[in-house]
C-alpha cells in the first residue's frame, strides 16, 4: 500500500484551515507543501508564513518540496515553520552534498527532487545519504499538468539501484498522479504518491485519497 501526500497547492487558499482539517481526517500520510519562487520555476506559490500556518493545524507531517533557487538560504526557516522533510531540487544545488548534510543537521529528513530530464543515475553518489528521492512526473511549476509516461521506467531504474545497494530512501512521484497511473507506479517501486488536482478537484477528496491509497 502506497503512502499519499496530497499537495495543498491545489487547496482553496482562502479556506486553508478547512482543507488541512479535511486532510487530517483522511487517510493521507503527509501534507505536501509546494514552494515556488518564480525563478527556479515560472510561478510563485507561497512561502514560510503559509507553511507555518498550515503546520499550526496539521496532524500529518509536512513534506516540503522547495522549487527554489539556492534553497540553503531558507532551509532553517522552513524547518522552524514545521517541515518534517525538506526536499531540494538537484538542478538548484551545485553543492548538493553540503545541502543534504545541512538538512540532516537541522533534524529534517533530506530529499532530492529530479526534473523530468535529470536521470536517476545523477544521484548515484549521494543516494546513501537520502531519506527521499522525488521524481517529477511533470515539469515543476504548476498543478494540473499531464503525467509524463517516461516516469515509469525512471522509477524502475531507481528501484533497481535501491535494491542492488540496499538503500533505504523512499521513492516519491509528483505531478499528474491519478487513479489511471497510481497502480503501475506502485508496481514499479513508488512508496509515496503526491496528488494535487486529482484529490482537490474530486467531489469527495477524502474518498479520492482512500482510492489512491488502495490502488
- Note whether 194 and 5 are within 8 A (CB): yes
202 vs 135: CA distance, rounded Å: 24
Q: Select the binding partner of residue 86 from Zn ion, ligand DX5, none (C-beta < 5 to 8 A, by kind).
A: none
37 binds Zn ion (CB under 5 A): no
Which residues, 6 or more positions from 18, have their beta carbon under 8 angstroms from its beta carbon?
Answer: 12
Q: Which of 29, 34, 63, 191 is catalytic?
A: 34
Of 33-41, 117-125, 155-163, 179-187, the window that binds Zn ion (rule: CB under 5 A) is 33-41
Pick out the residues of the known binding site for substrate.
7, 65, 141-144, 174-176, 196-197
Single residue of 9, 88, 108, 185 touching ligand DX5 by CB under 6 A:
9
8 vs 215: CA distance, rounded Å: 21
Q: Give the CA-trace dihedral at 75, 80, 84, 88, to 10 degrees.
A: -10
141 binds ligand DX5 (CB under 6 A): yes
Mark whether 34 is an active-site residue. Answer: yes
Element (DSSP H or E) covering residue 111:
strand 109-114
Total site size for Zn ion, rule CB under 5 A: 3
Single residue of 60, 65, 89, 170 touching Zn ion by CB under 5 A:
65
Single residue of 71, 82, 85, 176 touching ligand DX5 by CB under 6 A:
176
- Note whether 194 and 175 are within 8 A (CB): yes
Q: Select the binding partner of residue 10 from ligand DX5, Zn ion, none (C-beta < 5 to 8 A, by kind).
A: ligand DX5
How far out from the chain centre does Cα 22 lie? 19
Q: What angle do CA 72, 3, 158 make, to 5 degrees?
A: 65
Site string for ligand DX5, 28-67 (x = CB under 6 A): ----x-x------------------------------x-x
Interface residues with ligand DX5 (CB under 6 A)? 7, 9-10, 32, 34, 65, 67, 138, 140-145, 174-177, 194-198
Amino acid at each position: 500500500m502506497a503512502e499519499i501526500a496530497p499537495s495543498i497547492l491545489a487547496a482553496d487558499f482562502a479556506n486553508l484551515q478547512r482543507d488541512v482539517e479535511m486532510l487530517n481526517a483522511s487517510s493521507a500520510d503527509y501534507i505536501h507543501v509546494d514552494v515556488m519562487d518564480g525563478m527556479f520555476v515560472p510561478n510563485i506559490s507561497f512561502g514560510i508564513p503559509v507553511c507555518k500556518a498550515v503546520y499550526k493545524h496539521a496532524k500529518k507531517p509536512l513534506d516540503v518540496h522547495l522549487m527554489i533557487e539556492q534553497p540553503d538560504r531558507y532551509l532553517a526557516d522552513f524547518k522552524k515553520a514545521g517541515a518534517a522533510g525538506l526536499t531540494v531540487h538537484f538542478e538548484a544545488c551545485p553543492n548538493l552534498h553540503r545541502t543534504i548534510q545541512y538538512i540532516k543537521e537541522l533534524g529534517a529528513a533530506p530529499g532530492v527532487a529530479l526534473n523530468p530530464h535529470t536521470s536517476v543515475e545523477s544521484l548515484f553518489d549521494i543516494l546513501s545519504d537520502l531519506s527521499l528521492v522525488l521524481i517529477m512526473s511533470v515539469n515543476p511549476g504548476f498543478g494540473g499538468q499531464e503525467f509524463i509516461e517516461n516516469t515509469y521506467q525512471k522509477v524502475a531504474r531507481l528501484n533497481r539501484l535501491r535494491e542492488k545497494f540496499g538503500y533505504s530512501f523512499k521513492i516519491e512521484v509528483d505531478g499528474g498522479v491519478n487513479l489511471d497511473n497510481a497502480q503501475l507506479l506502485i508496481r514499479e517501486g513508488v512508496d509515496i504518491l503526491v496528488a494535487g488536482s486529482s484529490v482537490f478537484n474530486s467531489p469527495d477528496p477524502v474518498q479520492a485519497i482512500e482510492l489512491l491509497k488502495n490502488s
